[in-house]
Amino acid sequence: MPSGITPHAQGLTPTGDVPVTDRGLAYGDGLFETIAVIDGKPKLLATHLARLQRGAERLAIAGLNFIALEAAVYAAAAAFVAHGAVKLLVTRGDGPRGYTPPVTQNPRWWLQSFAWTPPLELPSGAHVVTSSVRLGEQPLLAGLKHLNRLEQVLARAENPASRADEALMLDSAGRLVCATSANIFVVREGKLFTPRMDRCGVAGVVRGALLAGATNGDLPWSIAETELTLASLVGAEELFLTSALRGVWAVASVDGIPVPSGKVAKACFDYWSALP
């Protein structure tokens, strides 16, 4: 399937364009999900849609038909011969000039399809650096995958792929939050730790799946959501990143300092691989 906007959309112009009056374009007033497609099926779709619904409720975006969204994602996924990725974008729709949301909302959504090949085994260790770009704290938006991603854009411009596989991002108080497009886990003494998502950052779907697996006993380790700093990484037994498309990605070094590999990242990758 070629990359581009799929036929599954609501509220685009007849030529498939987004009107200039769209609030997502004007203000970033919307949400998005990037969904892995493996063997023609969208992976962790229920988790993606649950996060999207939480985001819509938090932003008070009304009128989304989640049954139609789910059907559209399944149809887009089935169009792939085997594997790919689908990006679902939702905005509040059109509105007049000014920040005040319109009283009557007609949310707009569309899907984009991309070529993508899933990792068949734990990806080789990521070399990450620390970004100088700090994440602003806004508890009302914490955890959501909203359209305002300029901090990540700046962090990636500072640290392109030619310099580092990923960049770690801290908040204004120096607390570790995430990577530019992934969550992070730290392994110490057989226990897993991951930053809380109550001030800023995106609560990723794979992160959520691992937390659920640890809670229900599918994973043999506990996972604590806590405050972490860069100092928390020193002496860690393992570090790994999680994201919807990479699954679990072991970290090989942070700012040039080697990080040991281990069994936890591999087990978490295998667990992610087996999830529907």
174-200 pLDDT, tens per residue? 999 999 999 999 999 989 999 999 999
Task: Supply 198's token pair.
Answer: 């109550």
Whether residue 136 is found in the same domain as residue 187: yes
Spatial contact of 88 and 52, defined as CB atoms under 8 Å apart: yes
CATH number at residue 32: 3.30.470.10
The answer to whether 4 and 72 are in contact (CB under 8 A) is no
- Look at residue 121 and tell me if it is in a domain: no
The domain boundary residue, chosen from 91, 114, 137: 114
pLDDT tens-digit series, residues 74-117: 999 999 989 999 999 999 999 999 999 999 999 999 999 999 99
What's the pLDDT tens digit per position in 112-159? 999 999 998 988 899 999 999 999 999 999 999 999 999 999 999 999
Regarding whether 134 and 268 lie in a shared domain, the answer is yes
CA distance 34 to 191: 29
Domain end: 114, 147, 167, which one?
114
User: Which run of H or of E encompasses 37?
Assistant: strand 30-38
Cβ atoms 147, 28 nearer than 8 A = yes
Number of domains, the chain:
2
Tokens at 135, concatenated: 């994440």
> Where in the sequence is the domain holding 160, given as residue range(s)?
126-274
- The verdict on residue 120 lying in a domain is no
Do residue 203 and residue 106 come from a single domain? no
> What's the CA gap between 186 and 145, in Å, rounded?
22
CATH number at residue 234: 3.20.10.10
Closest CA to 170 of 81, 255, 262: 255
Residues 6+ apart with CB under 8 A from 97: none
Q: Is residue 230 part of a domain?
A: yes
